[in-house]
């Protein structure tokens, strides 16, 4: 049995479509928003990973979302190696037209329309009767099909939907021309057996399911997202929706790397194939962490720092004798290797530019000069410069459009003899300003100095410090989250000096607050 798909052609029955929604479901969660340049870099990395469909955003949600989807469609979407570029839309006409316009430049494009089908959502969120919902399903898919043959329809809150009604909605969507039907566990409530029952039912009861791709989209509120994804595959689903590092609404989505490695490692029990180049997994995971400044937890499967670390002596002994004693997959198969040492203080500007290109950066000469100067400075101070160091450094230096405030210099008096004092210079709208502040510790003194130079009402709600790489000469990577009138922004800074990194992160966050990113539509409720 095989399916003829508008974007993929003849699909083998064992082929799993990997649908990545890092840039949509992932990006819309607090602290994970990305600017256009950052989205383009992630999109490039995801393309290199071999995903089949890239949900690039929710075009109606804001002008920024629209521009990002369009830019991805125009740049990556026209290439031979591009995944299908997908835009999300609610069922209204405006949503679908906006999504269609955003993905239009792509060679292969998908419109993904969704509507809630559960009693709770229909009554309280949509305030629609079931018959109205049913009509809207057909109308939205029919309209979307005018722009592309590849149309996905999702029953939002599908796992809490009345089974008979779910069957009717899915049938209506297929009749209207949907080529992928997704039943999301939007609230992360389902158990694996629920997922099995729902997809088995749809395949048995709804005419036409044998000609389309069924899709699963699971949230991790109970830690079951990947387990539910595997259950869905075994129940006949051939598209998996997932995100890098499992980011997404609330507790996140099914983690792409975990789902893919479960299929690959347990191919004996889950005999399905996909196009993911698993050796690129770690690189993409780290890029996402660098861009968003949120590391995965150390014990995170596949990509966590400890995922392949063996601490117990008896385990270490076993691994040295034969890796398979305690390793079910090799670290190399997902991209871990001993050294990503790349550059030193003798590396020239051309090599640096080349390196940036392979890391997904394309920057102008001025930004390159600034970044190169800081790289040389770093190479003088730090013996070994890793890819991660360069990503942190360049993120810190460039890709900051519209910055009104620039960090110039910082001198700190710290230690156990109070008071700690910060002498800070910032350039604000082109004018260098200087302040001296004391505080409860050097970070507090520095942040007070920033306040003095640029008075503002934002509240500091999160301050975290991590190390980019290992060793006492590692760069500190700091995150500062500011809140103003309900708007949250995260700023990041990197430097071998933790306090300087903190000042840079604070300034970065302030600059982001100054560039208001306003969502024009109601909250971007996910499918
Ligand atoms: Mn979702």
Q: Rounded distance, CA 29 to CA 34, Å?
A: 11
How far apart, in whole angstroms, are the C-alpha atoms of residue 108 and residue 78? 8
3-state SS, residue 225: helix
pLDDT for 377 equals: 84
On whether the CB atoms of residues 247 and 31 are closer than 8 A, the answer is: no
Distance 381 CA to ligand 1 centre (A): 44
pLDDT of 58 over the 90 cut = yes
Which 3 state secondary structure label does DSSP give 457?
coil
What's the mean pLDDT in 158-185?
97
Of the candidate ranges 71-85, 148-162, 180-194, 361-375, the one whose mean pLDDT is the lowest: 361-375
The domain ranges of the chain are 17-292, 307-337, 349-398, 405-517
More confident residue, 260 or 523: 260
What's residue 313's pLDDT? Answer: 63
Query: 525 falls in which pLDDT band (50, 70, 90)?
Result: very low
What average pLDDT score do residues 519-523 get? 36
The pLDDT, as a whole number, for residue 522 is: 36
Q: Tell which wins on pLDDT, 423 or 402.
A: 423
The fold for domain 17-292 equals TIM Barrel (3.20.20)
Ligand 1 centroid–CA 187 distance in Å is 8
**Distance (Å, rounded) from C-alpha 37 to C-alpha 312?**
43
Q: How far apart, in whole angstroms, are the C-alpha atoms of residue 199 and residue 156? A: 15
Place of tokens 């004693």: 325
Q: How far apart are CA 4 and CA 137, in angstroms?
A: 23
Q: What is the pLDDT of residue 183?
A: 98
Burial class (CB in 10 A: 0-12, 13-18, 19+), 375: buried
Q: In angstroms, what is the span from residue 243 Cα to ligand 1's centroid?
A: 10
* Beta-carbon contacts of residue 94 (< 8 Å; ≥ 6 apart): 60
Residue 488 has pLDDT above 80, yes or no: no
Q: When comparing pLDDT for 199 and 343, which is higher?
A: 199
The residue with greater pLDDT, 99 or 470, is 99
pLDDT tens digit sequence for 381-404 = 776 677 777 877 776 665 455 578
Largest CA distance in the chain: 77
Ligand 1 centroid – CA 95 distance (Å): 17
Q: How sure is the predictor about 298, in pLDDT bands with cuts at 50, 70 and 90?
A: confident
Q: Which two tokens stand for residue 410?
A: 């910082």
397 vs 506, higher pLDDT: 506
pLDDT at 316: 66
Distance from Cα 90 to the centre of ligand 1, integer Å: 13
More confident residue, 496 or 321: 496
Q: How far is the CA of 91 from the centre of ligand 1 (A)?
A: 16
Per-residue pLDDT tens over the stretch 26-56: 998 877 888 898 899 999 999 999 999 999 9
Q: Which of 96-105, 274-283, 292-301 has the lowest mean pLDDT?
A: 292-301
* 262-273 confidence digits (pLDDT tens): 999 999 999 999
| Pairwise CA distance, residues 230 & 339, whole Å | 33
CB 433 within 8 Å of CB 453: yes
CA of 360 to the centre of ligand 1 (A): 27
pLDDT at res. 382: 74
Lowest mean pLDDT of 291-300, 333-342, 363-372, 434-443, name the range. Answer: 333-342
CA dist 299 to 131, 198, 230, 262, 304, Å? 47, 32, 21, 16, 5
Distance 405 CA to ligand 1 centre (A): 36
Quote the pLDDT of residue 312: 63
What is the CA(410)–ligand 1 centre distance, in A? 43
Which pLDDT score, from 0 to 100, does residue 290 have? Answer: 81
Count H helices and E strands in the chain, helices first. Answer: 16, 18
User: Residue 185 C-alpha to ligand 1 middle, in angstroms?
Assistant: 8
Q: Check residue 398 and give its pLDDT.
A: 54
From ligand 1's centre to the CA of 249, what distance in Å?
6
Q: What was the pLDDT predicted at 520? A: 35
Q: Using the predicted structure, report yes or no on whether residue 315 has a pLDDT greater than 60.
A: yes
Task: Note the pLDDT of residue 344.
Answer: 75
What pLDDT, on a 0 to 100 scale, did the predictor assign at position 471? 76
Question: In the predicted model, what is the mean pLDDT of residues 86-100?
Answer: 97
Alpha carbons 212 and 238: distance in angstroms, whole number: 9
For residue 197, name the pLDDT band (cuts at 50, 70, 90): very high
Q: How far is CA 116 from CA 162, 169, 525, in A?
A: 12, 10, 10
Q: CA–CA separation, 36 vs 72, rounded Å? A: 9
CA of 283 to the centre of ligand 1 (A): 24
pLDDT at residue number 338 = 47
Quote the mean pLDDT of the chain. Answer: 89
Rounded mean pLDDT, 311-338: 76
In Å, how far from its chain's centre is CA 294?
11
User: What pLDDT, on the 0 to 100 scale, is given for residue 82?
Assistant: 98
Q: What pLDDT digit, counting tens, does each position of 428-486 carry?
A: 988 999 999 999 999 999 999 999 999 999 999 889 888 877 777 788 888 898 888 77
Cα(486)–Cα(503) distance, integer angstroms: 23
Confidence of residue 153 (pLDDT cuts 50, 70, 90): very high
Average pLDDT score over residue span 344-350: 79
Give 226 Cα–ligand 1 centroid separation in angstroms. Answer: 14
pLDDT-derived band of residue 214, with 50, 70 and 90 as boundaries?
Answer: very high
**CA-closest candidate to residue 385, choices 447, 343, 329:** 343
Distance of CA 151 from the midpoint of ligand 1 (Å): 18
Average pLDDT over residues 349-354: 81
Q: What is the pLDDT of residue 391?
A: 74
Ligand 1 mean position, distance from CA 369 (Å)? 41
The CATH superfamily label for domain 405-517 reads: Alpha-isopropylmalate synthase LeuA, regulatory domain (3.30.160.270)
- pLDDT computed for residue 516 by the predictor: 46
Alpha carbon distance 168, 165 (integer Å): 5
Q: For residue 186, report the distance from its CA to the centre of ligand 1, in Å.
A: 5
| Distance from C-alpha of 274 to C-alpha of 263, rounded to nearest angstrom | 9
Q: 225 near 193, Cβ under 8 Å?
A: no
Give alpha helix (H) positions in 299-438: 313-321, 349-358, 365-381, 387-397
Residues forming beta bridges with residue 464, ordered by sequence position: 479
Q: Which of 124-128, 248-252, 351-355, 518-522 has the lowest mean pLDDT?
A: 518-522
Please report the pLDDT score of residue 396 as a whole number: 63
Q: 357 CA to middle of ligand 1, Å?
A: 32
């Amino acid at each position: 049995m095989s399916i003829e798909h508008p974007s993929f052609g003849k699909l083998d029955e064992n082929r799993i479509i990997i649908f990545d929604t890092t840039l949509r479901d992932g990006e819309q969660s607090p602290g994970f928003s990305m600017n256009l340049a950052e989205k383009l870099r992630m999109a490039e990395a995801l393309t290199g990973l071999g995903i089949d469909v890239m949900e690039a955003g929710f075009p109606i949600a804001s002008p920024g979302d629209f521009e990002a989807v369009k830019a991805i469609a125009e740049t990556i979407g026209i290439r031979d190696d591009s995944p299908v570029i997908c835009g999300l839309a609610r069922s209204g006409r405006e949503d679908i037209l906006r999504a269609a316009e955003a993905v239009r430049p792509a060679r292969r494009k998908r419109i993904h329309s969704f509507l809630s089908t559960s009693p709770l959502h229909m009554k309280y969120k949509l305030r629609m009767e079931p018959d109205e919902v049913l009509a809207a399903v057909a109308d939205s898919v029919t309209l979307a099909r005018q722009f592309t043959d590849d149309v996905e329809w999702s029953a939002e809150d599908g796992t809490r939907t009345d089974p008979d009604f779910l069957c009717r909605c899915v049938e209506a969507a297929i009749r209207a021309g949907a080529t992928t039907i997704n039943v999301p566990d939007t609230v992360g409530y389902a158990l694996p057996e629920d997922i099995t029952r729902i997809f088995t039912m749809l395949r048995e009861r709804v005419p036409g399911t044998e000609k389309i791709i069924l899709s699963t989209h699971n949230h991790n509120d109970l830690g079951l997202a990947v387990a539910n994804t595997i259950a869905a595959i075994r129940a006949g689903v051939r598209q998996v929706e997932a995100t890098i590092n499992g980011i997404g609404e609330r507790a996140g989505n099914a983690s792409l790397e975990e789902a893919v490695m479960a299929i690959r490692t347990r191919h004996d029990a889950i005999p399905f194939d996909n196009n993911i180049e698993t050796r690129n997994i770690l690189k993409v995971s780290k890029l996402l962490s660098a861009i968003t400044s949120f590391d995965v937890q150390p014990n995170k499967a596949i990509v966590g720092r400890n995922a392949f670390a063996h601490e117990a002596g008896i385990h270490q002994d076993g691994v040295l004798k034969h890796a398979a004693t305690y390793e079910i997959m090799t670290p190399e198969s997902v991209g871990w290797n001993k050294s990503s040492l790349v550059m030193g203080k003798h590396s020239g500007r051309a090599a640096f530019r080349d390196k940036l290109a392979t890391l997904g950066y394309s920057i102008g000469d001025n930004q390159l000069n600034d970044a190169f100067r800081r790289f040389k400075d770093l190479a003088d101070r730090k013996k070994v410069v890793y890819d991660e160091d360069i990503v942190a450094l360049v993120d810190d230096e460039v890709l900051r459009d519209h910055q009104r405030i620039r960090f110039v210099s910082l001198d700190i008096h710290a230690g156990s003899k109070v008071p700690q004092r910060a002498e800070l210079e910032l350039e604000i709208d082109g004018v260098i300003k200087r302040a001296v502040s004391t505080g409860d510790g050097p970070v507090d003194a520095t942040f007070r100095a920033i306040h003095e130079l640029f008075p503002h009402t934002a509240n500091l709600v999160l301050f975290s410090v991590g190390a980019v790489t290992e060793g006492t000469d590692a760069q500190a990577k700091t995150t500062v989250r500011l809140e103003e009138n309900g708007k949250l922004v995260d700023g990041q800074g990197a430097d071998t000096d933790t306090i300087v990194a903190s000042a840079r992160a604070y300034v970065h966050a302030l600059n982001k607050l100054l560039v208001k990113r306003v969502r024009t539509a109601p909250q971007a409720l996910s499918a």
